[in-house]
Amino acid sequence: MSGYDIKRFLASLGWLVGSPSYGSIYPALHALLEDGLVSVEVFSALNKPPRKIYSITDAGRYALRKWIRKPVVANASLKAFLMRLILANNLTKPGLATHLEQRRAQVGTRHVALQRMIDELQEDADQGQRLALEYGVFIASAELAWLDEKLGQLSEELLLEEGEEGNITYEGDPLEEVSLE
Amino acid sequence: MSGYDIKRFLASLGWLVGSPSYGSIYPALHALLEDGLVSVEVFSALNKPPRKIYSITDAGRYALRKWIRKPVVANASLKAFLMRLILANNLTKPGLATHLEQRRAQVGTRHVALQRMIDELQEDADQGQRLALEYGVFIASAELAWLDEKLGQLSEELLLEEGEEGNITYEGDPLEEVSLE
DNA sequence: TCACTCATGTAATTGGTTACATGATTAG
DNA sequence: CTAATCATGTAACCAATTACATGAGTGA
């Protein structure tokens, strides 16, 4: 994608997590290029600004996998989760399942904690806070439902694949040994 | 509340929107105090750090109302919405309804746009992006459901109050003329 | 004894936004 | 004729996090 494309895509999810400005997208792309994690192809058209299409390199793919595999921090925000989700096609299916399960566990915990907070609120407590907490549990429930649905689909797919191909223990990553800073 | 309390409360919603660190909460509180928008009471206990409980002042309440009333920007994030929700008890009921309706309209638009984006995705499109977009529409639907529920409750309450008190055109704000920078 | 909760705060650094610059094309 | 879309980029500024400092009590 180009920087422009990235901005457009992220903007479509922006009401959920906010979306970065060009002032952070372009420099990030340049840094990635410098580090050899992405490559560029320039498409020039007459009387139009050239489109610079970035593609991930092998080194980039390796770095991405490393990033995506390290477990999300306990208090991870929706944004952190979504970013990993967007890049989830770079995970193996079991890897994606792990990610969704981690999220499920975290949101589940949060859901319980929020519900308890609401139950413990006094009658005369701040109504705005109660409203916000209620909103929180509602969204948490919805996310749990989505995660369960996706997780269900995934485990079905995994079972099918197992049946087809015998037992795959884990998909070995040939890039595992490459060093990268 | 104290800075510590604020942090704790926001942390409970933090998985949704992320929560600020002490390094931004305490300085913000100090600035608010300097501007006379909040006041402090210090509660000292033996061998314990003193608790500083902040309360909003009249000037603060006025500034807050001004902030809360100005319509949210078109692309407002969940965070901006939630912050207003938390402070919603400082709104009149019609004011709260307006806020929720604005959000409903925005999320509704986003929902349609996301659904169209998904429909327009090619078969071979990036699966991660599709997943993220699907997540987006799901959460959007959930939020719409919540907003409709709350909006329904609110309009009932408003009808009841009208019946009781006759016709209130709009609750006049006696602080409206106070100037504040 | 170690780690965590309570509770406040400051300084340095990082990261991001805002504002600017460029310029052709298309829709209202 | 104006505003918006396409498309890239830089520099100044601001807001936030991170890391530090302090210190008693509590539960494993």
Q: Which residue of B has its CA nearest to A145?
A: B138
Within 8 A by CB and 6+ apart from A90, the residues are A61, A64, A65, A68, B128
Which residues from B are below 8 Å from A61, CB to CB?
none
Quick one: pLDDT at residue A104?
A: 94
Instruction: Kindly report whether the global pTM for this prediction surpasses the value 0.85.
Output: yes
- Kindly state whether B88 is in contact with chain A, defined as any CB-CB distance less than 8 angstroms: yes
Is A69 buried (19+), middle (13-18) or exposed (0-12) by CB count in 10 A? middle
Which residues from B are below 8 Å from A123, CB to CB?
none
Quick one: pLDDT at residue B172?
A: 38
> pLDDT digit string (tens) for B135-164?
999 999 999 999 999 999 999 998 988 776
Q: Which residue of B has its CA nearest to A1?
A: B126
Within 8 A by CB and 6+ apart from A168, the residues are A161, A162
A39: tokens are 């490559």
Distance B42 CA to C3 C1' (A): 29
- Which of B6, B10, B13, B15 is most worth mutating to test chain A (most A CB atoms within 10 A of its CB)? B15
Q: Do A16 and B107 touch (CB under 8 A)?
A: no
- Kindly state whether A112 is in contact with chain B, defined as any CB-CB distance less than 8 angstroms: no
Q: Do A126 and B90 touch (CB under 8 A)?
A: no
Q: Is the pLDDT of residue A167 over 60?
A: no
Which residues from B are below 8 Å from A77, CB to CB?
14-18
Q: Which nt is closest to the CA of A24, judged by C1'? A: C16
Q: Which residue of A has its CA nearest to B13?
A: A136
- Asked if A75 CB < 7 A from strand C, the reply is no
Q: Which nt is closest to the CA of B5, judged by C1'? A: C7
- Kindly state whether A131 is in contact with chain B, defined as any CB-CB distance less than 8 angstroms: yes
Residue A68: beta bridge partners?
A: none
Within 8 A by CB and 6+ apart from A68, the residues are A84, A87, A88, A90, A91, A95, A99
Q: Do B88 and A127 touch (CB under 8 A)?
A: yes
Residue nearest to nucleotide D18 (CA to C1'): B23
> pLDDT digit string (tens) for A89-143?
777 888 899 889 999 999 999 999 999 999 988 888 888 999 999 999 999 999 9
> pLDDT digit string (tens) for A28-44?
999 999 999 999 999 98
**In chain B, which residues have pLDDT < 70?**
164-181
B37 vs B55: CA distance, rounded Å: 9
- Asked if A14 CB < 7 A from strand C, the reply is no
Residues 146 through 175 of chain B touching chain A, CB cutoff 8 Å:
146, 150
- Locus of tokens 């000292």: B44
Residues 57 through 76 of chain B touching chain A, CB cutoff 8 Å:
75-76
Q: Which residue of A has its CA nearest to B74?
A: A15
How big, in percent rounded to 5, are the helix, strand and coil portions of chain B? 65, 5, 30
Quick one: pLDDT at residue A165?
A: 60
A75: tokens are 């208090």
Quick one: pLDDT at residue A48?
A: 81
Quick one: pLDDT at residue A179?
A: 26
Quick one: pLDDT at residue A148?
A: 98
